Amino acid sequence: MQDFTSPSFNNDSQAIAKASEISFFQKVYLWMCGGLALSTVVSLILKDSQAWYSFLSSSSLSWLLILGLQIGLVVGIGALRGKVSPAVVKGLFLAYAASFGMTLSLVLMIYPSGVIFKALLCSSAVYGAMAVYGLATKKSLQAWGGFLFMGLIGLIVASVVNIFAKSPMIDFIICWIGVLVFAGLTAYDHQKLRVIHAGGFESSDDESKIVILGALELFLDFINLFMFFVRILGSRD
């Protein structure tokens, strides 16, 4: 009979668990990068479209419609996860990625390519460092959740206030707080996905849905970092 407490068995078990975790994160990042690629393609198509520019300029309601669509898709993915098939969840994720391409097209219209490139470098560096920290640290980041949630609420409230105040200084502070919040969320979400994976899945469909939800969370972390860095660097030009 095999000794399940032997070092060789433990090493084999750890190797299998590690391989499974790597495979899981490969799937998550494949979907995340696919979403980013889709957003980029949509934004490049729309940024030179005169019809799209006319639509955006026609009324402030156009941006409210886009924002409402994006919020609705994000909420819908989370709310419908247990009620629909993995294919529907994947479709909603791709729809959200495409809708973000609409927002990104405006960024490409407004800011010079130098600012976009610098923001991409900065956000990639911060995101990469915090992702590695979230995956490698032995310390539980669960306590970060409450602080990060309060930070998000504070960002929303401050942003609404600054719509009326129109203060460049307040906006600058909001952007840096946003960078800190989403840097923290990057580490937090990576560790959370590790914990979820370690706990196992009820079925292959459940795993597929968790992969998409994880991709969405990491997608949101990255694009928000990018958008805040664009505003910070763009304000200096």
Residue 153 domain-assigned (yes or no):
yes
Q: For the chain, what is the mean pLDDT?
A: 90
112: left (phi over 0), alpha (psi -120 to 50) or beta: beta
Domain-located, residue 227: yes
Question: Is the pLDDT reported for residue 44 higher than 50?
Answer: yes
Q: How many domains does the chain have?
A: 1
Distance of CA 173 to the CA centre of its chain: 21
What digits encode the pLDDT tens for the residues 67-102?
889 989 999 898 888 889 999 999 999 999 999 999
Whole-number pLDDT of residue 62: 83
Q: Does residue 3 carry a pLDDT above 70? A: no
The pTM (predicted TM-score) of the whole model is: 0.90
Q: Which residues contact 154 (CB under 8 A, 6 or more apart)?
A: 177
Residue 47, domain member (yes or no): yes
The confidence score (pLDDT) of residue 1 equals: 35
Rounded to 10°, the helix 86-110/7-46 angle is 50
pLDDT at 2 over 60: no
Residue 2 lies in a domain: no
Residue 1, domain member (yes or no): no
In a domain, 224, yes or no: yes
Which range marks the domain in which residue 80 is found?
7-234
Q: What is the DSSP string of 209-224?
A: HHHHHHHHHHHHHHHH
Residue 147 lies in a domain: yes
